[in-house]
Chains A and B, each alone.
Chain A
Amino acid sequence: MYDSGKVIIGLAVFACIFLFPFLYNRGTAAPQPKPSLDTPAIKALSEKKCVENTRFMITTHMQFLNDWRDQALREGNRWYVNSEGKKVWISLQNTCIKCHSNKKEFCDKCHNYAGVEPYCWDCHYDPNGSKL
């Protein structure tokens, strides 16, 4: 092999750089976030229930919010009838956030953990009001 010295040193440097983040973070796995749901509005509820059941909201809220958005904005249908037949006004700003007013806990904890950055708050108001 020509220039074996340089090649091997180069490979070693590459391996070090490549493996560094894995070795550096070894054993420090971020614990699964446990967001707190407590807000004054939720505490005041007699029955602590979102528009659909918790399991569904955890796994499907992304799709669910997109559907709400399209229904309200594109189809002009502002009422959502949930699985129990209860009518809910479709609005992120005026329905969801009325209860879930703790964005840092409720939204950011899991989104940061999962490394996702939804662009909701570029236009809708952060209920904590820090960003405007």
Chain B
Amino acid sequence: MSMDRRKFLKAAGLTTLVGLGGKGVFELLRPGAVEAEMAHESHGHDKHHEQEAGPKVRWAMLIDVMALNKEKIEKIVHTCHYLHNVPNWGDPKNEIKWIWEDEYEHVFPDSYNEYNHILEGLPFLLLCNHCDNPPCVRVCPVQATFKRPDGLVAQDYHRCIGCRFCMAACPYGSRSFNWLDPRVQLKKEMAHGRKLNKQFPTRMRGVVEKCNFCVERLAEGKQPGCVEAVPDVMFFGNLADPNSNVRKILKERISLRRKLELGTKPSVFYLI
């Protein structure tokens, strides 16, 4: 096919026009079609958001800081670590943290008040906050950590590649990496009388782990182990249900959540 210069310029000009005023050309040919398509798209999105805005279940945990003491903390930590076979390396470098204790000024560094010492010295129990907007989930390159519809931030050890992005992303330090084979330490502890929970697996070297809100117990209709150990101190329930136990308590008591300004929306509340 031969084309002289004049014809080529005409075709090029026309194409440019279509390119610049694409919507206008469509409007000429099929009026209203583009708007209808766009409206359909955004409507679809709205529907999706509605679903996200109103989950039926969102698990939350309440910890009564005023009712905690050394003895109870020990019981809670022991129960959790027994149930999930968490090794106690006794060395902060290899430490595996599911639930642990820290001081007020470390737990709430943003709201520390040098003129008010009411909260100082109180024991705060820390665990994974199971955020509504979890940064760890966003950074995981293999979706090993993910948010379940009921709000739990779960960790799939089968899929974890040990990149530790989630540990960098978590603002609460709730995640620990298995630098060494946890079974080595568990074996050592067993020699000193530690018992294993054979209902729950261990982890292997090279994966990240954290509190799982006792997802294996929730599946059986039980409460998390820590809550069962001290039912007068810790409360667990559905935050999405306005009549649930946790919502009732939250209505009456003053509660704190960690680092709210980050927008992660934690599901762990500290009652004071």
Q: Mark A100-132, 1 if CB is under 8 A from B, else 0.
A: 000000000000000000010011110000011
Contact A123 B198 (CB under 8 A): no
Chain B: residues with Cβ within 8 Å of the partner, total of: 22
Give the dominant DSSP class at A's interface. Answer: loop
- If the complex has contacts A74-B146, A132-B183, A132-B186, are A124 and B156 also in contact, measured as CB distance less than 8 A? no
Contact A125 B158 (CB under 8 A): no
B42 at the interface (CB under 8 A from A): no
Give the dominant DSSP class at B's interface. Answer: loop
Could you tell me the distance in whole angstroms from the C-beta of B147 to the nearest C-beta in chain A? 11
Q: Which of A17-73 contact B (CB under 8 A)?
A: 69, 72-73
B120 at the interface (CB under 8 A from A): no
CA distance A73 to B196 in the complex (A): 21
- If the complex has contacts A78-B219, A93-B200, A123-B204, are A69 and B158 also in contact, measured as CB distance less than 8 A? yes
- If the complex has contacts A76-B219, A123-B201, A125-B198, are A132 and B187 also in contact, measured as CB distance less than 8 A? yes
CA distance A89 to B183 in the complex (A): 27
Contact B202 A123 (CB under 8 A): yes
Q: Which of B200-225 contact A (CB under 8 A)?
A: 200-204, 215, 219
Residues of A within 8 A of B157 (CB): 123
Could you tell me the distance in whole angstroms from the C-beta of B32 to the nearest C-beta in chain A? 42
B150 at the interface (CB under 8 A from A): yes
Q: A74-B156, A93-B200 are in contact. List 12 more A-B contacts (CB 8 A).
A: A72-B219, A73-B154, A73-B158, A76-B149, A76-B215, A119-B204, A122-B204, A123-B202, A123-B203, A123-B204, A125-B196, A125-B198
Q: Closest 7 CB pairs between A and B?
A: A122-B204, A123-B201, A124-B201, A78-B219, A132-B183, A123-B204, A123-B202
